[in-house]
Amino acid sequence: MPVPKPLPLPLPRDLVAAAEQEGRTGWLATLPATVARLARAWSLTVEPPFQPGGQTAWVAPARDRAGRDLVLKVAWVHPEALHEADGLRAWNGHGTVRLHAVEEMGDTIGLLLERCRHGTPLAELPERRQDVVVAGLLRQLWSAPVEGFGLRPLQALCDQWADEFQARVAAAPGLIDPGLAREGIALFRALPASADRRVPLATDLHAGNVLAAERQPWLVIDPKPYVGDPTYDPLQHLLNCEERLHADPSGLAGRMADLLGLDPVRLRRWLFARCVQESPDWPPLLGVARRISID
């Protein structure tokens, strides 16, 4: 069988910049041949990729022989997104795009996905409306079965990020108040184990990862699945609502807890811990953590 010729791919600037910064230029060089092979295997006509694109995946509109409107995603496999296909199988289109085909190739995964039409990002809506949509989607995701899909525990993610945080703080004394760092990261490690229920989690659900669709009003397009405490799942949305987060973090957490039927105290504790954990790359979050600690 002849080897498919590499497609003359446009490469989104964000993907190129991230690959160059992180030393993934070899992976980037193989991308055209990988896309060509998947297009042939799945009988696809592939259009130019979405721009500016993500940092770890080449994503483009495509059509198959039946004329279905699809999306081809060819991604570098990074730890947080390791089980994206497994999560999409577990959710089976309930709150997320549907998965039509998948192929794993070493450090690369190809996903053939449902396309969202008309595809308007949730981020274009006012934030308080985003709150309601995010809450509705999370409730759908949490109702899926936990067992049988190989999803990793949230504890593994939190321990990994806590280890990375502690290594950075140890290498840069004075970066963060030691007491705040100890309290925040100890809580970040402890909270997953104290949850009273375990559900499938998106872990990175925010308005930029939610698109308007026809089959459902809104669908999640880029989950990073784990299993664990549902109270963790609103955190990325809260962090992205920067103005409200800095103005009244406890009030914002309370609103989301109410929309989701969660314990507001537990959500504030998670938000405090996550703000501390993220603070080496996002220093203003230390102020948010301090506000939560005295509320």
Q: What is the DSSP letter of 57?
A: E
**222 catalytic per annotation:** no
Q: Which two tokens stand for residue 56?
A: 């770890």
* CA pair distance 249, 247, nearest whole angstrom: 6
Phi/psi class of residue 163: alpha, beta or left (left: φ > 0; alpha: ψ in -120 to 50)?
Answer: alpha
Q: Which of 161, 31, 172 is nearest to 109 (CA)?
A: 31
The string of DSSP letters for 25-39 reads: HHHHHHHHHHHHHHH
The single residue of 86, 204, 222, 233 carrying the catalytic annotation is 204
* CA pair distance 293, 235, nearest whole angstrom: 17
Q: Is 153 helix (H, G, I), strand (E, B) or coil?
A: strand
Q: What is the DSSP letter of 121?
A: B
Query: What positions carry a catalytic annotation?
Result: 204
